[in-house]
Amino acid sequence: MNTTSLYKNILVRVPNWLGDSMMATPVVSAIHKVFPKAKLTILCKSNFAPFWKSFSEVHEVLTVQKGLPGYIHTVREIKKRQFDVAVTLPSSFSSAFLLFAADIPKRIGWGGEGREFLLTHVAPAPDPRQKHLVWEYLELIRAGLGRPLGLKTYQLVFPLDAKIKSEAKQLLKSLRVRGTSFVALGPGATYGPAKRWPLVYWKQLILKMLESGHETLLVVGGAEEKEYLTELWQELPEKYADRLVSLVGKTTPRVLAGVLDQCKVLVTNDTGPMHVAAAVGTPTVAIFGSTSPTWTRPFGEGHTVIYKAVECSPCFQKTCPIGYICLNRISVSEVFEAAKKKLKGNAVVRGEKPPIGLI
């Protein structure tokens, strides 16, 4: 008998970061396709619980509590559910140890980080950053659960309901944002300077977009980026002041998704909001520096990636000792033309077919 047919209670430990969480969303549809009658529970950080609860295929969401008392509580809550099998998408030691401590009969994850003894099924770690992270996650699910994945296409998902859309509209209203045609900009990146196209280029791009179009530009990013991004408003002509609006530090993942859903395009560095835009179907123009588009480009058809593969790239470093050549070679006109093409072409985001033999 194929024991995989007996899985009725499945736990998935999902990633902690915004972008990685978006790239893990195809896992939900894949598991539901293979095991439609199984109960699917997501284990995540507390700030992402509302997001994962919005999936109709997800029956329950558990959160990882902080500190030793919180850790013990989390283990107890997992044990109560008596899961048949658990998959950890993060490759950290702690994520595997949590499943081990909860004594789940089958524990699936990649090897490495010295955690092989914590898992009952160790999947071979993928070649580092040689394929998109979405495919890496799906390969792990296929290998661990022992079933081919049955979908012909895969896409990122961020379920949008009326409440999310209303919250986004209310935020824009509270900031007195004018107009009905929006372009989002993601000039930051908490990872480090090696992901950030220079702010002087962003300022030139913003001016060109304001001069040539009628859209209101919405700057998105985390609260920790606020000080860095204040330079964007310096020397901005007064006549354009109400068309460059900061949402930096003012959105939750839910509200960010609702805002990006209203935008015609997102022009961005390699950031979490880039993957949120892809998940709600908003086309992106994505600027890559030290990281690899092969691994973390915006997933789906309908996006544009701008990347200069110099000799040392991708290096995945946070800072650059030789002057950020890969980023400085990306011209303002190149990004502007890509954004303008998206605005004129009414680009549509579609899912992707898995590479032959991969899934």
pLDDT in tens, 52-79: 999 999 999 999 998 899 999 999 999 9
pLDDT band at 189 (very low <50, low <70, confident <90, very high): very high
Question: At 264, phi and psi to the nearest 5?
Answer: -75, -30
What local confidence, expressed as pLDDT, does residue 27 receive? Answer: 96
- Range 163-345 classified under CATH 3.40.50.2000: yes
pLDDT in tens, 22-48: 999 999 999 999 999 999 999 999 999
pLDDT in tens, 282-329: 999 999 999 999 999 999 999 999 999 999 999 999 999 999 999 999
pLDDT surpasses 80 at 347: no
pLDDT surpasses 50 at 224: yes
Task: Please list, in sequence order, all residues whose beta carbon lies within 8 angstroms of the beta carbon of residue 182, skipping any fewer than 6 positions away.
Answer: 215, 216, 217, 218, 259, 262, 263, 264
What local confidence, expressed as pLDDT, does residue 237 receive? Answer: 95
What local confidence, expressed as pLDDT, does residue 356 receive? Answer: 80
Looking at per-residue pLDDT, the higher value among 2 and 59 belongs to 59
pLDDT in tens, 97-132: 999 999 999 999 999 888 999 999 999 888 888 999
Domain boundaries, the chain: 3-145, 163-345
pLDDT in tens, 228-285: 999 999 999 999 999 999 999 999 999 999 999 999 999 999 999 999 999 999 999 9
Question: What are the residues facing 109 on neighbouring strands?
Answer: 122
pTM over 0.85: yes
* Closest residue by Cα to residue 118 from 99, 105, 137: 99
Question: What are the residues facing 345 on neighbouring strands?
Answer: none
What kind and span of H or E run contains 335?
helix 332-345
pLDDT surpasses 50 at 1: no
* Closest residue by Cα to residue 254 from 168, 172, 349: 168
Round to whole Å and give the CA distance between 296 and 309: 15
pLDDT in tens, 129-172: 899 999 999 999 999 998 888 789 999 999 999 999 999 999 99
Q: Worst-scoring range by mean pLDDT, 84-88, 125-129, 207-211, 214-218?
A: 125-129
pLDDT surpasses 90 at 181: yes
Identical fold, 3-145 and 163-345: yes
What local confidence, expressed as pLDDT, does residue 151 receive? Answer: 87
Pick the CATH number of 3-145 from 3.40.1080.10, 3.90.950.10, 2.60.200.30, 3.40.50.2000: 3.40.50.2000
Round to whole Å and give the CA distance between 3 and 22: 30
Beta-sheet pairing, 9-13 with 121-123? unpaired
- Strand, helix or coil for residue 255: helix
What local confidence, expressed as pLDDT, does residue 359 receive? Answer: 65
